[in-house]
Amino acid sequence: MGRNLAPKHKATRRFGINVAQTKKSPLDRGRTYPVGMHGQKKTFAKTSEYGKQLLEKQKAKAIYGLLEKQFYLTFQKAEKVTGDLGQNLLTLLESRLDNIVFRSGLAETRRMARQLVTHGHFMVDGTKTDIPSYIVKPGQIIKVKENKADKGYWKQVKENIDKVESVGWLSLDKKELAITVNSLPNKEELPREIDVHLIIEFYSR
User: Taking Cα atoms as reference points, which of 95, 34, 33, 78 lies closest to residue 199?
Assistant: 78
Same domain (yes/no): 166, 199: no
How many secondary structure helices (H) and strands (E) does the chain include?
Answer: 8, 5
Is the per-residue pLDDT at 39 higher than 80? no
Q: What is the pLDDT of residues 163-173, one digit of tens each?
A: 999 999 999 99
Is residue 118 included in any domain, yes or no? yes
Q: Which CATH number characterizes residue 29's domain?
A: 1.10.1050.10
Q: 186 lies in a domain?
A: no
pLDDT at residue 9 is higher than 80: no
Structure-model confidence comparison of residues 9 and 59, the more confident one:
59
pLDDT in tens, 71-92: 999 999 999 999 999 999 999 9
| 65 and 44 assigned to the same domain | yes
Full DSSP string of 57-75: HHHHHHHHT--HHHHHHHH
- Which pTM does this prediction carry? 0.81
Q: Which helix (H) or strand (E) holds 179?
A: strand 178-181
**Banded pLDDT at 202 (limits 50, 70, 90):** very high
- Considering the domain architecture, whether residues 68 and 104 belong to the same structural domain is answered as no
Which among 204, 194, 205, 179 has a CA at the least distance from the CA of 57? Answer: 194
Range of the domain at 48: 8-93+191-203
DSSP 94-109: HTBHHHHHHHHTSSSS
In terms of C-beta density within 10 A (0-12 exposed, 13-18 middle, 19 or more buried), how is residue 153 classed? middle
Co-location of 101 and 164 in the same domain: yes
What is the CATH number for 153? 3.10.290.10
